[in-house]
Amino acid sequence: MNDLSGAIPSSFGNLHKLQRLYLLDNKIVGNIPHEVCSLTSLGNLDLDLNKISGPIPLCIGNLTGITSISLSSNAFTSIPQTMWSLREAWFMNFSDNSVTGYLPSEIGNLVNLETLNLSKNQLSASIPGILSNLKMLQQLNLSDNAFQGIIPTSIGDVASLESLDLSSNNLSGIILKSLEKLHYLKHLNLSFNMLSGSVPINGAFANFTIKSFMGNIDLCALLLIVYVKYWRKSKNQPISVIDLSIKFGHRHISYYELLGATNNLNEANLLGGGSFGSVYKGTMSDGEIVAVKVFNLEVEGAATSFDRECLVLRNVRHRNLVKIISSCSNLDFRALVLQYMPNGSLGKWLCNQGQNCLDILKRMDIMIDVASGLEYLHNGYLEPIVHCDLKPSNILLDEDMVAHVGEFGIVKILVKYKSMTQTATLGTMGYIAPEFGLQGRVSPKGDVYSYGIMLMETLTRKNPGDEMFFGGLSLRQWVISFYSDRVTEILDTSLWSGYGEATINAAMDSLTHCFSSIIELALQCSSDLPEERPNMTDILVKLKKMKHNLVQHLSRFNRQ
């Protein structure tokens, strides 16, 4: 990202020997000039994340040597037929545009294509069966369009396919058993269509979760869940929230296994507690170490919190979110079996004194991890997911000190196309956005506010609930009083753990601007008005750039 603006100059056409053109993540507007089509040596073209509009020029077919073309997140309206003649291409990404029309049979010419992403456009008509010609295809994403008709039988002949996403279209008919032949298929999403009939059970289908098929109300697998719950209730048998976990991708763990793993929920195994229960360290029979979150059902809202965490954690997958392994549920016991985090929470690390502290680069890595997890929650799922209780004690660190966002007990899932909802459930004082605490208004911008407070806390090691913040003084107001030329005075001195005093003194003047930028971002995130806060996508981009600048500055000085 270089903040380039304006249109792509036609003079680019004079760069006849140019092999790679990367202009991604800028503010470029206008159309692709026809002069770009004269760059016949071009192998890679990446114009992602700009504001380029109009049709992709017909002459793009002149770039016969191109192997990778990525034009996602722009405002293109059409793809020319000549695009499908680029036989050398192995990667094409036109997602998140405004492309209309249909997929022609000429797409079968792309015999070397490994990745095709046309998601989040306005393509319609049927999915062409000629896609079976693409024998090298590994990733196919046609989600969030308006495709109609059936899923072509011939897709089952694309033997190399590893990921298939046809979600959020208008597809009908049954899920064909020919898809069971896709032995390398690791990811499948057919959700939110109008599919009917039964779900295949053989081949890769044995490993897919309910997330792959949700939103198709006539699928028999979904009806089976309702029937099983009704049958168990009529027989007075315990109803499990995810009884079909083993069928839909999570291992089954019984109540007695959990007792054995935690030594009968022994206090010696206790890792911590929260509003709705306690977390124990457990060792399963196969030696796997897990975290077992047991809900206290005598606490009002605990059962609802369990259901909510199940709903979220079984449907989301991201390296910076705590992973669910399984659950155990009956009428008087609810527990989640979660990935164990041996390095505890960010909150505990911020309480550490002395040598066992996080230096500045590790703290930046953690905040980037958290931003990445939140960005996925806000934008990477069918509906935005708002965490609602972001704070250092809910950020957990694995054996490699990679941060994972945890504790989804009061999470809110917003209805699609609705940016805000209301709730009476509160998060933690000091981290709650003003509109959340006063009006119960929940939106992704509430998480952004909490993130801004947490970013300030991570740099200053001052908790918003500290005794020093009283009489109307808040952490944010205290930080503002030092911004921008005195920000280094409020930084936690242990940020420089591992750096000698001489190095710190030499680097400080150079780093003042870097830290001012980070504090400025934290203040923007924690603005009183939601509309003045940035979104997590922009925050993540800025943080990565700020860390890069920090690394460059620190590399000028010798580390002792």
Exposed e or buried b per residue across 239-252, where buried means at least 16 C-beta atoms within 10 angstroms of its C-beta: ebbbbbbebbebee
DSSP letter at 515 equals H
Angle (CA) 341 475 401, round 5°: 20
Contact 442, 434 (CB under 8 A): no
Which of 22, 35, 32 is CA-nearest to residue 52?
A: 32
Question: 196: burial class by Cβ within 10 Å (0-12, 13-18, 19+)?
Answer: middle
Contact 130, 105 (CB under 8 A): yes
Contact 59, 34 (CB under 8 A): yes
Angle at which helices 444-460 and 501-525 cross, to 10°: 160
Q: How many CA atoms lie within 13 A of 313 on its CB side?
A: 28
Contact 163, 139 (CB under 8 A): yes
Identify how many contiguous H helices and E strands the chain contains and give both numbers. Answer: 10, 29
Angle (CA) 373 374 379, round 5°: 105
Among 48, 96, 389, 447, the one annotated catalytic: 389
Contact 322, 313 (CB under 8 A): yes
> CA–CA separation, 426 vs 453, rounded Å?
16
In DSSP terms, 7 is beta-bridged to: 29
Angle (CA) 183 186 189, round 5°: 115
> 125: left (phi > 0), else alpha (psi -120 to 50), else beta?
left
Which of 288, 265, 392 is CA-nearest to residue 338?
A: 288
Structure tokens of 492? 């936690």
**Three-class secondary structure of residue 459 per DSSP:** helix
Structure tokens of 318? 């991201």
Active site residue 218: no
> CA–CA separation, 360 vs 511, rounded Å?
11
Structure tokens of 433? 């956005």
Q: How many CA atoms lie within 13 A of 356 on its CB side?
A: 7
Active site residues: 389
